[in-house]
A and B are shown apart, each in its own frame.
Chain A
Amino acid sequence: MRRTRLARLLGRLLPGTVRADLFEPALHDLYVDAARTGRGTALATLGLFLESWRLAPAEVFAMFVHDVRHALRLLVREPGFTIAAVLTLALGVGANAAVFAVVNAALLRPLPYPDAERILLLQHRDRRTGITKTFVAAGDFADLRARQRSFESLAGFGFGPSTIFTSDEPFNVGVLQATPDLFDVLHVGVPIGRALTPADAAEGAAPVVVLGDEVWREHFASDPSVVGRSIKMGPAMRQVVGVAAPGFRFPANTRTDVIVPMRMPAQAPAQRKNGWTFAVGRLAPGVSMAHALDDLTTISRQMEREHPDQNEGSEYFALTVRDWLVGDTKRALVLLLAAVSLVLLIACVNVANLLVARAVGRRQETAIRVALGAGRSRLVAQWLTESLVLAVVSGAAGVLIARWAIPLLVRLAPAASNLPDPDGIGVDRAVLAFTAGLTLLTTFVFGLAPALGIRMDRAAGALVNPGRVTAGHAARRAASALVVIETALAIVLLTGAGLVLRSFSHLLAVDPGFRAERVLTFDVQLPAERYRQEPARAAFYTRAFDALTHLEGVEAAGTAVVMPLTGNNWTVGFERADRPVPAGQRPPDVGWQAASGGYFTTLQIPLRAGRLFDATDRPGGPPVVIISEAIRDRFYPGEDPVGRKIRGGDGNATIVGVVGNIRRAALTDEPRADLYFPSEMSPQAQASFVVRTSGDPLQSVAAVRAALRAIEPQIVVREVTTLEAIARESMQITRLALSLLAVFAVAALALAAIGIYGVMAHSVRQRTREIGMRVALGATASDILWLVMRHGIAVAGLGAAVGLAAGVAAARSLSALLYATSPGDPLTLAAATAVLLAVALLACYIPARRATRVDPVQTLAAQ
């Protein structure tokens, strides 16, 4: 009796197992009954179909459990295959999970404020110089706050260090100075006591402080009665008014030990740029970021029109707090995640190759299953279940690898990457979910190729002639295609690593314009009450420089406000006194620095003309400045600037010297025009020291500290490091990218080599009879060598060609990490190709050599 069209249609709607095991035999019984009784089958067929669907979930699950058991038995039975595949995949999954953990912490994990993505940080861009700053001028802040309609409110803030003096040892704290509305902007409350109020920031208000939870616990024994008590912080006594919520940090990557009120003018002062602040705002309900940006642009234009002499070219825009925190690291992290996924893809391709080879070996088993009635979907399901089991075992091993790799990766990440809570980065739920997703994905990536390669029509051949189970053309082509893919992926990674390596070598070769080696740097804070007067501060620095330069092993010492290579790009207007800019126009900006004469000698910034700052430059004396060569070239072409006057805030200053250009903000920065003001004329209670030593600078720390304490016992010395460490840190993101890309590229190369070797070795094994025949017919060893190598070279060559094209395209995304290197750098591309082809040739040569040793007599006799 023929099956009805309805039965065929309904059968197709059932899962393969349910159709074959439940529906089909029941349908046959129905036909037997129908043949005997002559009854119609349509209604009963529908009933069988519905009943089969009812039973389907249990059946599919039972089949899945059966397949899992079968897959586990296979893994145990083939330990060589299992170890190779699990290790390959586990390394790939582990590396991905580790990089994802860092990406998650930096880019995905929510910041500790409600709706943090609606909190924006204002940025200033100078259209004339292209320099972007995170600061808002005090006058602009007042106008922006008054005119904006996009934010619930705008708060100003700043942060820095200070010292709290208690009955115990004084301790350093991270201070957040903020306008009281910052708490409203962040939508955070104060669980103990109260938050800051506008009255706290009013003129003449008593100094108050909100303690951070950590400081409250560590130094005030979690005592709630601390609220109302006065503590000495820096020079002033402050009354504690509250304790912040546990875990409160702003910005999220810095310690917020205490919060003090910041006073900002309600009306814009005449000198609008006299004072700067960070500014943060929360988008008003229903307002989009684009709308807020438009609003800021409109207000910027208004201020430019109203105050062209101070605001020409000034433009305000905003970033989300996260984008501000993560900065350039975001691109590097995303890039590394992409790179490490390529490694996993290559690992998957390799395992797919192993599975294809294994599938060929299992053709007889497949044939038996087909003969016993297994359908294609049933076989594909079984293969995919085997792949899933392999992926799950590898995923579990990958999580263990990630647990080990994450701390390593966090240590490698630059401090400037602003990872929030780096100690808290580990294998958490997000990482586990990512790994689980990745495991499922890999199952399909490497499991689908062999599963789709199942040829039902050829299965019978394996039964008829089990002794000659060889890979068909399709299987060989599939294996070759997989090798082309992994070779191409390896080239992409090699090119990326090569480009970053070239950039790094260029960065190392950059002349910053100063000598960073053997320079100790640290910050000092003088007790304010004893150094309220400028002469007292000037006297301290004179004695300090004298004491330090007389220390054994110290060659020079100086101070500066802006430490080089820390990204600082403060600017100041430059105006020749003899050529003032027309009224209503803003003078062009140049870099700003306040430094002592010793700063130049310590950093060995060459003096080109005139003199450095010295003891004759005293507070109250005639104002003097030093300019860099770039200012001379730009503003005094063909003239001698020494002795000329420039316009300053309080009168004209005389140029007393010209020094060499330096790369102040970063090594990747072009040397800029810099204007130096003498620290000697306005010594501050806080300064950054630079001390050149004859040996290891860190060996001198104790002596330097003792010398300064001998002058001022209450001096606070912090942030002790070396200029070389700062320079290294400034290159850390490139170094991180280089280290990881290099590791990924080597892994990719090794995997590709293993892949090529595997395919070639398998091919030689499969073609032993053919090779034996050729040798018997007179083929020489070199003929055989070429026969095998030709295939490998063709596959690797094709992969290299595809990879080069993809590599050049992918390298464009690297641009942010590249320095003085083009994404299409021919030398790098050529080197990557050469390395890959050399490795590919070696991988082909080993099986090719084996092929030349085939004994025709033995081979033919064996057939």
Chain B
Amino acid sequence: MSTKRIPRLTHLQFLVLGLLRGGEQPGRAIREAIAAHGVKRSAPAFYQLMARLERDRLVDGWYEQVTAGDQAVTERRYRLRPSGAKLWAETRDFYSTLARTGSAKLRKGWSDA
């Protein structure tokens, strides 16, 4: 992807994909992590976000049995797909490039004015 084009990831999607770069995680943990960044989402709203990432084939989701307390329960877990990792990297590059070249241009534009 050209770094000149505005990335199609939202800030929140960028954040979620970034969290998954470290490895697979349960949905609950991702939700808590984004809450730490000030993004409070209800559980259904959060899973709506994740379902759309799955539908766009950026992440994979599956159920896995875990033990909580003394009970066996299932939870939804997610991992980043290569396409997701690629899109995240492209988005990061876009903003990096913009931060480098764009600020210079902005400064130039201001001085011309």
Identify the A interface with B (CB < 8 A).
1, 21-26, 28-32, 35-36, 38, 48, 51-52, 55, 58-59, 62-63, 66, 373
Give the distance in Å from the alpha carbon of A30 to the alpha carbon of B76 in the complex.
Answer: 12
Q: Is the CB of A28 within 8 A of B74?
A: yes
**In whole Å, how far is A24's beta carbon from the nearest beta carbon of chain B?**
8
Q: Within B45-97, which residues are at the interface with A (CB < 8 Å)?
A: 45-48, 50-52, 55, 61, 63, 66, 68-76
Chain B residue at minimal CB-CB distance from A54: B44
- A32 pairs with B66, CB closer than 8 A: yes
Question: Considering the chains assembled together, what is the distance between the CA atoms of A63 and B54 in angstroms?
Answer: 12
A55 in contact with B68 given A29-B27, A31-B73, A32-B73 (CB within 8 Å): no
Q: From residue B29, how far is it (CB to closest CB) to chain A in Å?
A: 10
Residues of A within 8 A of B28 (CB): 29, 32
Residue of A22, A31, A35, A36 touching B51 (CB-CB under 8 A): A22
Task: Sort A-B residue pairs by CB-CB distance and give the 7 closest, nearest first.
Answer: A26-B43, A21-B51, A35-B68, A25-B76, A22-B44, A35-B71, A35-B69
Whether B42 sits at the interface, judged by CB under 8 Å, is yes
Q: How far is the CA of A32 from the CA of B42 in the complex (A)?
A: 16
User: What A residues does B71 contact at CB under 8 A?
Assistant: 1, 35
Query: What is the chain B residue whose CB lies nearest that of A22?
Result: B44
Given contacts A1-B71, A1-B72, A36-B68, contact A29 B43 (CB under 8 A): yes
For A66, list chain B residues within 8 Å (CB). 55
Q: Is the CB of A22 within 8 A of B55?
A: no
Cβ contact within 8 Å between B45 and A55? yes
Q: Would you give 23 A-B contacts (Cβ < 8 Å), ordered by A?
A: A21-B51, A22-B44, A22-B45, A22-B47, A22-B48, A22-B51, A25-B47, A25-B61, A26-B43, A26-B44, A26-B47, A29-B31, A29-B43, A31-B68, A32-B28, A32-B66, A35-B73, A51-B42, A51-B45, A52-B44, A55-B45, A58-B48, A62-B55
Min Cβ gap A1→B in Å is 5
Q: How far is the CB of B70 from chain A (nearest CB, A)?
A: 8
Chain B residues with CB under 8 Å of A22's CB are 44-45, 47-48, 51
Residues of B within 8 A of A59 (CB): 48, 51
Q: Which residues of B contact A32 (CB under 8 A)?
A: 28, 66, 68, 73, 75
C-alpha gap A31/B72 in the complex (Å) = 10
Taking CB atoms, residues of chain A closer than 8 Å to B69 are 35-36, 38
Q: Are B48 and A21 in contact (CB under 8 A)?
A: yes
In the complex the two chains form, is A28's CB within 8 Å of B44's CB?
no
Among B42, B43, B70, B73, residue most surrounded by chain A Cβ atoms (within 10 Å):
B43
CB-CB under 8 A from A55, the residues of chain B are 44-45, 48
In the docked arrangement, what's the CA distance between A58 and B51, Å? Answer: 13
- Which residues of chain A are within 8 angstroms of B55 by Cβ–Cβ distance? 62-63, 66
Across the interface, which residues of A come within 8 angstroms of B75, CB to CB? 25, 28-29, 32
- Structural contact, B44 and A48, CB atoms closer than 8 A: yes
A25 to B61: give the CA distance in the assembly, Å: 10
Q: Is the CB of A21 within 8 A of B73?
A: no
Query: Once the chains are docked, how many angstroms separate the CA of A48 from the CA of B41?
Result: 12
Is A28 in contact with B63, judged by CB distance below 8 angstroms? Answer: yes
Return chain A residues, CB-CB under 8 Å to B51.
21-22, 59
The reply to whether A28 and B73 form a contact with Cβ atoms under 8 Å apart is yes
Query: Given A48-B44, A55-B48, does the pair A28, B76 have CB atoms closer than 8 Å?
Result: yes
Residues on A with beta carbons closer than 8 Å to the beta carbon of B42: 26, 51
**Contact partners of B63 in chain A: CB under 8 A:** 28, 373
Cα(A508)–Cα(B89), bound, Å: 81
Q: Which residue, A21, A38, A48, A62, has most C-beta atoms of chain B within 10 A?
A: A21
Assess the B43–A48 pair: CB atoms within 8 A.
Answer: yes
CB distance from A157 to the nearest CB of B (A): 68
Bound complex: CA A58 to CA B61 (Å): 21
Tell whether, in the assembled complex, residue A25 and residue B50 are in contact, meaning their CB atoms are under 8 Å apart.
Answer: yes
CB-defined contacts of B76 to chain A, threshold 8 Å? 24-25, 28-29
C-alpha gap A28/B74 in the complex (Å) = 6
Q: Measured between alpha carbons, how far is A74 from B61 in the docked complex, in Å?
A: 25
Task: Output the least CB separation between B60 and chain A (Å).
Answer: 9
Q: Tell me the minimal C-beta distance from B56 to chain A in angstroms.
A: 9
CB distance from B99 to the nearest CB of A (A): 32
Bound form: Cα–Cα A24–B44 in Å: 9
With A1-B71, A21-B51, A58-B48 already in contact, 10 other A-B pairs whose C-beta atoms are closer than 8 Å: A1-B68, A22-B45, A25-B27, A25-B61, A28-B76, A29-B27, A29-B28, A29-B31, A29-B43, A48-B44
Q: How far is the CA of A23 from the CA of B51 in the complex (A)?
A: 11
A25 to B73, CA, bound (A): 12
Interface centre among B48, B63, B71, by most chain A C-beta atoms within 10 angstroms, is B48
Chain A residues near B50: list those with CB within 8 A: 25
Contact A62 B52, beta carbon cutoff 8 Å: yes
- CB neighbours (8 Å) of A373 from chain B are 63
If A25-B50, A28-B63, A66-B55 touch, does A51 touch B72 (CB 8 Å cutoff)? no
Give the most central of A25, A30, A51: most B CB within 10 Å.
Answer: A25
Q: Are B66 and A21 in contact (CB under 8 A)?
A: no
Residues of A within 8 A of B48 (CB): 21-22, 55, 58-59
Distance, CA A670 to CA B69, complexed state (A): 97
- Minimum C-beta distance from A554 to chain B (A): 84
Given contacts A28-B75, A35-B69, contact A51 B27 (CB under 8 A): no
Question: What A residues does B45 contact at CB under 8 A?
Answer: 22, 51, 55
Interchain nearest-CB distance for B113 vs A (Å): 42
B104 CB → nearest A CB, Å: 39
| A52 to B42 alpha-carbon distance, docked (Å) | 10
Q: How many Å lie between the Cα of A35 and that of B61 in the bound state?
A: 22
Cα A23 to Cα B42 with chains together (Å): 11
Give the complex CA separation of A58 and B31 in angstroms.
20
> Closest residue to A50 on the B side, CB-wise?
B44
Which chain A residue shows the least CB distance to B47?
A: A25
Distance from B58 Cβ to chain A, minimum over Cβ atoms (Å): 13
Q: How far is the CB of A352 from chain B (nearest CB, A)?
A: 28
- The 0/1 profile, CB within 8 Å of A marked 1, for residues 17-32 of chain B is 0000000000110010
Residues of the B chain whose Cβ atoms lie less than 8 Å from the Cβ of A21? 47-48, 51
Chain B residues within an 8 Å CB radius of A1:
68, 71-73
